């Protein structure tokens, strides 16, 4: 029962030897604006890299091992619980599978390292940090809402911890962890499915692999005979280089509607997608809310949303609209560029194009405006040339990639349902409102 749970603090757990003293990161000799970052090496973890209960060690910044050794603190290892405490408050993660023995933390993030596994379960601690009661304390103490919101290590030692007996800690962690594990499995499956779609797009429409293979007298790798027969075995010249024979060369703005006209009257309540919920990885958007339309980009299912402003564009904020009802119009930031492919191109062609390196490089190189507020002008896509396939090839591409996009959507919907269940259970488990035995039985059926 809750009355038997210990109400303690971080500092008390440190004194008792249950926790090591929490430590945050240190820039040391690193340039504060990141000029010392390298393309690969030791992950340098910021608050924005704490995603979905884990850390993003793929899209984060990196430093060399020599740079890491020059720093005096911030070395975080597997099993540590991470908590963001500066500017971006209250994000949490557990350091799991990492490429080396440690990652480095910025001054935005503190690690909590359990020292006595018979008294404290690290996964329970992470979920307690996620709880509303803890988050409210953290936000109020750190001055949430201020651009300088911050809670230092000394104040973090005063943070309250509600500590049940270890068996109950493990049981709570197991119940919530089962849901998070399924969410993580879905994320990995979606990453694989999208990688398949993007690889096919790159092979067919950027590298022209099937045509190169046939021109060399080879069967295209991994392609059935019927599909291979759709591709020519020769190239023709276009203004931007060779393209498959029989294909058309045209500017992106002719093959794809850029910011197409969508009708949505001022004052209409319609689905709204905030820029913060446009994904940096994968196509599935985050939270969608109903909001009264004022002004902004308008879109329908099948459209692709590309962030036009720095640093959102460079960070990869791109999404595919598949969350509306048939014929429904949604809206969002004026900083979205909307792509809507014209026939014979299928809708997902626009999304996969927006995720491709050549298109993103073109957009970034054409940004205009003052430093820190640069944007991509829509007109720049009139200068981006595409090789447009025959209708039969476009149709075959649709047949192969549309099911992949549909599976990604289904997994994303399931993950949102599981996340809602997890977030509903968390306060009830921590308050003792519901019995663990009942929840374990129900979660086992998920």
Interval 313-322: pLDDT, tens: 998 999 999 9
- As a whole number, mean pLDDT of residues 192-202 equals 97
Cβ proximity of 358 and 344 under 8 Å: no
Q: What is the pLDDT of residue 172?
A: 93
E-assigned strand segments in 253-335: 256-258, 269-273, 289-292, 297-299, 304-307, 318-320, 330-332
Q: pLDDT by residue (tens digit) across 373-401? A: 899 999 999 999 999 999 999 999 999 99
pLDDT at 12 over 50: yes
The rounded percent of the chain whose pLDDT value lies above 70 is: 93
Bigger pLDDT: 370 or 33?
370
Q: What is the pLDDT of residue 436?
A: 67
The Cα–Cα gap between 144 and 93 comes to: 20
* Distance from the first to the final alpha carbon of the chain: 26
Q: pLDDT by residue (tens digit) across 128-140? A: 999 999 999 999 9
pLDDT range class, residue 29, cuts 50, 70, 90 = low
pLDDT at 247 over 60: yes
pLDDT at 370 over 60: yes
Q: Find residue 319's DSSP bridge partners.
A: 305
pLDDT at 82 over 50: yes
Q: Which of 77, 84, 130, 139 is nearest to 110 (CA)?
A: 84
Q: Could you say which DSSP state residue 131 is in? A: S
The Cα–Cα gap between 104 and 106 comes to: 7
The Cα–Cα gap between 313 and 336 comes to: 10
Cβ proximity of 231 and 393 under 8 Å: yes
Longest dimension (CA), the chain: 78
pLDDT at 33 over 60: no
The Cα–Cα gap between 129 and 161 comes to: 9
pLDDT at 350 over 70: yes
Q: Mind listing the domains of the chain with CATH numbers?
A: 2-164 (3.90.220.20), 248-388 (3.90.220.20)
Which of 256-266 are b and which e, b meaning 16 or more Cβ less than 10 Å from the residue's Cβ? bebbeeeebee
pLDDT at 227 over 60: yes
| Token pair for 405 | 């996009």
Cis peptide before 324, with omega less than 30 degrees from 0? no
Q: Which of 109, 111, 25, 113 is nearest to 70 (CA)?
A: 25
Q: What is the pLDDT of residue 56?
A: 87
> In what helix (H) or strand (E) does residue 137 lie, and over which residues does it extend?
helix 132-142
- As a whole number, mean pLDDT of residues 336-345 equals 97
The Cα–Cα gap between 6 and 3 comes to: 8
pTM to 2 decimal places: 0.85
Average pLDDT, the chain: 92
Query: For 207-214, which contacts have Cβ atoms below 8 Å and span 24 or more sequence positions?
Result: 208/235, 208/243, 208/244, 208/387, 211/235, 211/244, 211/245
The Cα–Cα gap between 200 and 369 comes to: 35
Q: Could you say which DSSP state residue 389 is in? A: P
pLDDT at 240 over 60: yes
Q: Give me the DSSP letters along 102-128.
A: -EEE-TTEEEE-BS-TTT--HHHHHHH
Q: pLDDT by residue (tens digit) across 84-118? A: 998 889 999 999 888 889 999 999 999 999 999 99
Q: What is the pLDDT of residue 2?
A: 45
- As a whole number, mean pLDDT of residues 9-26 equals 95
Q: Give me the DSSP letters along 5-44.
A: SEEEEHHHHHHTTSBPPPEE---TTS-TTSTT-BSSSEEE
pLDDT range class, residue 434, cuts 50, 70, 90 = confident
Q: What is the pLDDT of residue 441?
A: 56
CA 147 to chain centre: 23
Q: What is the pLDDT of residue 149?
A: 86
The Cα–Cα gap between 36 and 57 comes to: 17
Q: Which of 51, 41, 100 is nearest to 76 (CA)?
A: 100
């Amino acid at each position: 029962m809750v009355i038997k749970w210990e109400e303690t603090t971080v500092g008390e757990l440190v004194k008792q030897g249950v926790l090591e003293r929490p430590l945050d990161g240190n820039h040391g000799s690193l340039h504060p604006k990141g000029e010392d970052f390298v393309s690969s090496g030791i992950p340098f973890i910021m608050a924005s890299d704490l995603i979905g209960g884990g850390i993003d060690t793929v899209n984060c910044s990196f430093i060399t091992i020599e740079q890491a050794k020059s720093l005096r603190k911030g070395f975080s290892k597997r099993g540590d619980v991470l908590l963001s405490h500066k500017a971006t408050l209250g994000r949490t993660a557990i350091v799991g599978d990492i490429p080396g023995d440690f990652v480095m933390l910025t001054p935005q993030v503190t690690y909590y390292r359990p020292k006595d596994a018979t008294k404290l379960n690290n996964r329970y601690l992470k979920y307690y940090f996620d709880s509303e009661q803890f988050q409210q304390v953290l936000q109020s103490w750190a001055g949430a809402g201020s651009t300088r919101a911050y809670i230092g290590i000394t104040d973090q030692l005063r943070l309250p911890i509600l500590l049940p007996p270890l068996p109950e800690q493990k049981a709570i962690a197991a119940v919530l962890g089962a849901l998070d594990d399924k969410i993580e499995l879905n994320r990995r499956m979606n990453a694989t499915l999208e990688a398949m779609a993007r690889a096919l797009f790159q092979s067919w429409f950027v590298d022209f692999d099937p045509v190169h293979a046939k021109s060399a007298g080879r069967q295209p790798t991994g392609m059935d005979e019927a599909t291979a027969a759709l591709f020519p075995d020769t190239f023709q010249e276009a203004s931007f280089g060779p393209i498959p024979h029989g294909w058309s060369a045209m500017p992106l703005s002719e093959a794809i509607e850029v910011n197409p006209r969508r009708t949505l009257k001022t004052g209409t309540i319609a689905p709204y997608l905030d820029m913060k919920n446009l994904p940096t990885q994968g196509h599935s958007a985050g939270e969608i809310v109903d909001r009264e339309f004022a002004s902004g980009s308008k879109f329908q299912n099948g459209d692709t949303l590309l962030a036009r402003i720095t640093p959102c564009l460079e960070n990869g904020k791109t999404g595919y609209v598949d969350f509306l009802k048939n014929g429904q119009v949604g809206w969002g930031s004026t900083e979205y560029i909307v792509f809507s492919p014209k026939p014979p191109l299928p809708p997902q062609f626009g999304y996969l194009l927006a995720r491709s390196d050549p298109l993103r490089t073109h957009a970034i190189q054409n940004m205009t405006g003052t430093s820190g507020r640069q944007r991509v002008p829509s007109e720049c896509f009139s200068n981006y040339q595409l090789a447009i396939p025959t209708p039969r090839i476009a149709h075959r591409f649709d047949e192969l990639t549309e099911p992949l996009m549909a599976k990604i959507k289904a997994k994303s919907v399931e993950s949102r349902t599981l996340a809602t269940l997890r977030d509903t259970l968390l306060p009830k488990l921590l308050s003792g409102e519901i019995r663990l035995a009942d929840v374990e039985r129900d979660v086992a059926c998920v």
